[in-house]
């Protein structure tokens, strides 16, 4: 099963040729087709329902043209309407939810920084050893209990946190769940309450009751990194997919196990000063640039693109 679309079709009715920034829709819809095929292959009523939902996801996309940029005169396509399946493992819905989370964080975190002037950020990654894919749910539940224990420690000084889960596939088809955590910290942490990486490892090992020292990464999010702002980079890491589609579209058995294991699991957690800043819902997957939104969008609905499975392109 190929993991890319054919980019050789230069038909100018194709969305990817009309708008370069929107060619990513072809890739994600192709990945969506791949998992739909896997769901249909499984003789199980639950997976059949998921297949029917993913099969209908984003089969059409309605775009409108933006107002011209005041400086450059440039116009671009904006998504106006679409129908999404909201299946947790759908590559399209994962992508849209990731964009939603990133936009939300980019909007809210600077406000929180202004509210807590004497605060900074840490980026913490917590791991355990790989588990069998059949044990993924139990492993994540155990890690959640470990994180609850971590928050009870005297050395836990976070004002707030955002915790997301990422799962990667090991070379032996194992699963590697790990937590990405953005910690909102008081300035005092970086002086009298500072914890070394070795001490973080020791505390996490204790909270998880492990007989080995787990891998762990802790880094200060500097106000201004080279190139991208370091906080923006941390936001991108927090907001990314739970599992990248390329991890599973060529591994049907692993994907089916993965889908079953994470079903109904809470994959995003927030607390303290960051409580409620993100959500697990799939509302507002159509992200519209409100600044350029026209008063009457219905008059500016210029293009509808329909998915063509044969060419693997959206076509007008």
pLDDT over threshold 90, residue 60: yes
216: number of Cβ within 10 Å: 19
pLDDT over threshold 60, residue 289: no
148: nearest Cα among 114, 102, 192, 181: 181
Query: Each residue of 238-266: pLDDT tens digit?
Result: 888 888 888 888 889 999 999 999 998 99
pTM above 0.95, yes or no: no
Question: 179 and 164 in contact (C-beta within 8 Å)?
Answer: yes
Q: How confident is residue 224, by pLDDT bands cut at 50, 70 and 90?
A: low
pLDDT over threshold 70, residue 295: no
Q: How many CA atoms lie within 13 A of 40 on its CB side?
A: 10
Task: Report angle CA 252, 98, 19 to the nearest 5 degrees.
Answer: 95
**Structural tokens at position 288:** 């519209």
Average pLDDT score, the chain: 88
Q: How confident is residue 199, by pLDDT bands cut at 50, 70 and 90?
A: very high
Q: Distance between terminal CA atoms of the chain?
A: 27
**Structural tokens at position 6:** 């054919």
Higher-scoring residue by pLDDT: 305, 280: 305
Query: Each residue of 114-123: pLDDT tens digit?
Result: 999 899 999 9
pLDDT over threshold 60, residue 89: yes
Residue 188 backbone dihedrals phi, psi, to 5 degrees: -60, -25
pLDDT of residue 285: 82
């Amino acid at each position: 099963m190929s993991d890319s679309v054919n980019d050789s079709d230069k038909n100018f009715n194709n969305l990817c040729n009309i708008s370069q920034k929107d060619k990513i829709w072809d890739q994600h819809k192709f990945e969506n087709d791949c998992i739909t095929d896997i769901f249909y292959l499984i003789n199980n009523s639950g997976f059949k329902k998921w297949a029917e939902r993913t099969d209908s996801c984003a089969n059409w996309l309605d775009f409108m043209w933006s107002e011209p940029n005041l400086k450059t005169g440039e116009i671009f396509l904006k998504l106006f309407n679409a129908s999404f399946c909201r299946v947790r493992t759908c590559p399209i819905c994962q992508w849209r939810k990731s964009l939603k989370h990133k936009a939300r964080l980019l909007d809210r975190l600077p406000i929180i920084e202004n509210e807590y002037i004497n605060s900074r950020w840490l980026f913490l990654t917590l791991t355990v050893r790989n588990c069998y894919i059949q044990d993924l749910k139990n492993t994540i539940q155990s890690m959640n209990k470990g994180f609850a224990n971590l928050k009870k420690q005297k050395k836990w000084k976070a004002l707030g946190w955002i915790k997301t889960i990422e799962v990667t596939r090991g070379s032996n088809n194992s699963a590697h769940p790990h937590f990405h955590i953005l910690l909102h910290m008081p300035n005092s942490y970086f002086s009298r309450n500072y914890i070394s990486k070795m001490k973080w490892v020791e505390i996490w090992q204790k909270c998880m009751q492990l007989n080995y020292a787990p891998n762990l990464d802790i880094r200060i999010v500097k106000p201004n990194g080279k190139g991208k702002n370091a906080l923006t980079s941390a936001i991108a890491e927090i907001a990314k997919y739970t599992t990248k589609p390329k991890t599973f579209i060529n591994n049907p058995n692993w994907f089916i196990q993965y889908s079953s294991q994470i079903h109904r699991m809470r994959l995003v957690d927030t607390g303290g000063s960051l409580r409620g800043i993100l959500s697990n819902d799939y509302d507002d997957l159509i992200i519209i640039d409100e600044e350029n939104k026209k008063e009457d969008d219905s008059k500016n609905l210029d293009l509808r693109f329909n998915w063509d499975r044969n060419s693997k392109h959206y076509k007008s």
